[in-house]
Amino acid sequence: MSFRALITDRDAEGRVTSSVQELDDIRLPEGNVTVDIEWAGLNYKDGLCLTGGGGLVRAYPHVGGIDFAGTVRDSADSRYAVGQAVVLTGWRVGETHWGGYAERARVNADWLVPLPKGLSTHDAMVVGTAGLTAMLAIDRLEAAGLTPAAGEVLVTGAAGGVGSIATAMLARLGYQVAALSGRPQHGEALKALGAASIIDRNDFLAQPDKPLESARWDGAIDSVGGKVLGKLLKQVKYGGAVASLGNAGGIALETSVLPFILRGISLFGIDSVMQPYARRVAAWQRIAATFDLPAYAGLVREIKLEELPEAAVAILAGEVRGRVIVSLGA
């Protein structure tokens, strides 16, 4: 049996290019479950993999795509039956193991999660790695004591995939969300998701820098890093917490110990790649019960395999709003 895949390759001069090719099943990597992929997602990390950035891909030719959803075609693991709907995120699939930019994938059963009731494979990729990461961040902040009865929760990079889904889910859970973005033209779309206020990133960073600033945020989910994270830490209220899950604004962190020792704040790192199975299942179940998919529909763009190289460049340039998902089903 053959299938279509976006093959990413690097030539002798180091140029990385991608093209759609027809492959035989024998080309699939090792694994004990084969999945017919119906939808895949486009994430910032995918943009790096398709353009050769970040050194994420070590062996070429390669099939990218760090998340996908589909149905089981063949299984040597008793947990998964033929025809069962599944979703995969993380485990370095799409980086060191062939991923979702193909009509078929073969993976380790431990990397899969059964699709929760109420979510289609299309829905699962609207959520994707971005939504799973956002929910893990919400879970972590709530474990630290954040409740809807608190004040404002800041979401940075709010027009992106993680930020927009975090905004929508926090609002649905009853939180008062302030959405910070460098693209204020998307403010009305964020308000439609439930954001109570919109903050321009340039205005936020233009405020005078002090070792400690006026305390405003009871919690925050930050997908930007860099100067934005450094500044918001100075504005978190006593006992508040921040979940850090991205570095689109840089990996450097300029801060001091003062917010930690004078206000007792906490900074949590959120990783969705290597999360244990039980935590993934619980997060996906909560997503299915929380995320308002119809309300988010206007922030979803569907593309084909052939459009991925151009979309990869766009997401790295910060030109993607919400979620881009890739259609692979018949």
Cα dihedral: 154, 300, 128, 57 (round 10): -100
Q: How many domains does the chain have?
A: 2
- The verdict on residue 288 lying in a domain is no
- Considering the domain architecture, whether residues 227 and 308 belong to the same structural domain is answered as no
* Structure tokens, 302: 């569907």
CATH number where 139 lies: 3.40.50.720
> Residue 307 pLDDT > 70, yes or no?
yes
Closest of 84, 111, 108 to residue 29, by C-alpha: 108
- Considering the domain architecture, whether residues 194 and 264 belong to the same structural domain is answered as yes
Residue 233's Cβ-count burial label (10 Å; 0-12, 13-18, 19+) is buried
Give the per-residue pLDDT at 329.
Answer: 79
* Structure tokens, 11: 């030539």
Pair 72, 86: CB distance under 8 Å: yes
- Considering the domain architecture, whether residues 172 and 138 belong to the same structural domain is answered as yes
* Structure tokens, 199: 């903050």
- The verdict on residue 285 lying in a domain is no
- Considering the domain architecture, whether residues 87 and 13 belong to the same structural domain is answered as yes
Give the structural domain span for 12. Answer: 2-115+293-327
Contacts of 145 (CB under 8 A, 6+ apart): 239, 241
- The verdict on residue 284 lying in a domain is no
Q: Tokens 């009305």 identify what position? A: 188
Question: What pLDDT digit, counting tens, does each position of 246-277 carry?
Answer: 998 899 999 999 999 999 999 999 999 999 99
- The verdict on residue 53 lying in a domain is yes
Contacts of 292 (CB under 8 A, 6+ apart): 168, 172
- Considering the domain architecture, whether residues 160 and 104 belong to the same structural domain is answered as no
Give the per-residue pLDDT at 245.
Answer: 96
CATH number where 68 lies: 3.90.180.10
> Residue 330 pLDDT > 80, yes or no?
no
> Residue 213 pLDDT > 80, yes or no?
yes
- The verdict on residue 48 lying in a domain is yes
- Considering the domain architecture, whether residues 111 and 202 belong to the same structural domain is answered as no
The 3-class SS string of 194-213 reads CCCEEEEHHHHHHCCCCCCC
Read off the pTM: 0.94
- Considering the domain architecture, whether residues 135 and 207 belong to the same structural domain is answered as yes
- Considering the domain architecture, whether residues 90 and 176 belong to the same structural domain is answered as no
- Considering the domain architecture, whether residues 50 and 173 belong to the same structural domain is answered as no
Q: Tokens 């439609």 identify what position? A: 192
Domain boundary among 254, 269, 284: 269
Note the helical H segments in the chain: 44-51, 121-143, 161-172, 187-192, 201-206, 226-233, 258-262, 277-290, 293-296, 308-316
- The verdict on residue 277 lying in a domain is no
Separation between Cα atoms, residue 266 and residue 1, nearest integer Å: 52
> Residue 303 pLDDT > 90, yes or no?
yes
- Considering the domain architecture, whether residues 110 and 15 belong to the same structural domain is answered as yes
- Considering the domain architecture, whether residues 109 and 153 belong to the same structural domain is answered as no
- The verdict on residue 120 lying in a domain is no
- The verdict on residue 167 lying in a domain is yes
- Considering the domain architecture, whether residues 173 and 301 belong to the same structural domain is answered as no
Domain boundary among 221, 253, 269: 269
